[in-house]
A = this chain, B = another copy of it.
Amino acid sequence: MRPSQRAVDQLRDIQIERNFTCHAEGSVLISIGRTRVLCTATIEESVPRFLRGKGQGWITAEYGMLPRSTHTRMGREAARGKQQGRTVEIQRLIGRSLRAMIDLKKLGERQITIDCDVLQADGGTRCAAITGAAIAVVDALNRLQRDKRLKEDPVIGMMSAISVGVYKGTPVLDLDYDEDSSADTDMNVIALEGKGLVEIQGTAEGEVFDRSQLNLLLDLAETGTQALFDAQRAALAQG
């Protein structure tokens, strides 16, 4: 039995609020259960030095947690003068993944900077961040197209991410903090709609896992990413 009473293949409630803030080209507040992440997309008309003159764009991402998004207060990274290893790892993952949903040639010499800031954390923040940021990217690119600054839509497909894991011996979908902190295996799966997998990261926190468990986890993840694609589409259909 899961602490939240959910079925093994049941996602938490999903809420997606577009245009949560007014300045960014894309701004999405995504809630997956109690996990809430503000994802903004900023368009800049230039690319990093290593890409100049190559006729393609770039997507980069930064991630942060507000100090009291967690049960006990975490030190503010800006005050400590350093991002933690976990932060660096997550923001690299977000940027790498989102680059796979865009045809960077069609984007042109522009950069999209994603900011994912966790307002409230209850497990699965990196997956929520990717799922929310994908919508913010689409909103930002739609604005570029409305403004006639982009000829072709560079979106290859929608992207979503979900965690799966082995909790008390049972594979389950969408771990919350209580489950995550005692799971044996924890895996994040990122999918591109209608195409396939973009990234899988599975870690044995306690017991090792075998190929058959891996397959069960990937089945669950497929259920989860499909449900997220539906939620993303529903959100984008509004206004």
Contact = CB atoms under 8 A, between A and B. Distances in A.
A87 interface: yes
B208 A197 contact: yes
Interface in A46-96: 62, 64, 66-71, 73, 76-79, 81-83, 85-89, 91-92, 96
B79 A81 contact: no
Given A76-B115, A85-B92, A87-B78, A22 B120 contact: yes
Contacts of A66: 21, 38, 40, 115, 117
A236 B190 CA distance: 40
Binding site of A, secondary structure by majority: helix, strand, loop or mixed?
A: mixed
A200 B204 CA distance: 9
Nearest to A136: B68
Given A21-B68, A23-B71, A69-B23, A202 B204 contact: no
Given A88-B88, A92-B85, A119-B38, A69 B196 contact: no
A67 B79 CA distance: 15
A100 B208 CA distance: 8
A46 to B, nearest CB: 12
A113 interface: yes
Nearest to A201: B201
A210 interface: yes
A197 B210 contact: yes
A231 interface: no
Contacts of A69: 21, 23
Contacts of A44: 73
A148 interface: no
A146 interface: no
